[in-house]
Structure 1
Amino acid sequence: MEYNNIIKLLKRYCINKDEFCYVGDALSDVVACREVSVTCLSAAWSNGVGLEELKKINPNHIFNDVCSLKIFLEGTI
Structure 2
Amino acid sequence: MPKAAPTPHQRAWLARGLAQPGGKLPLFDMDGQRINPQTIRACLQRGWAEPWFTNPTKPDWLVCKLTDAGRALLTDKNNKNQ
TM-score normalised to the size of structure 1?
0.31
Bigger relative contact order, structure 1 or 2, given CA contacts below 8 A and separation 6+? Answer: 2
Which of the two has greater helix per residue? 1
TM-score normalised to the size of structure 2?
0.30
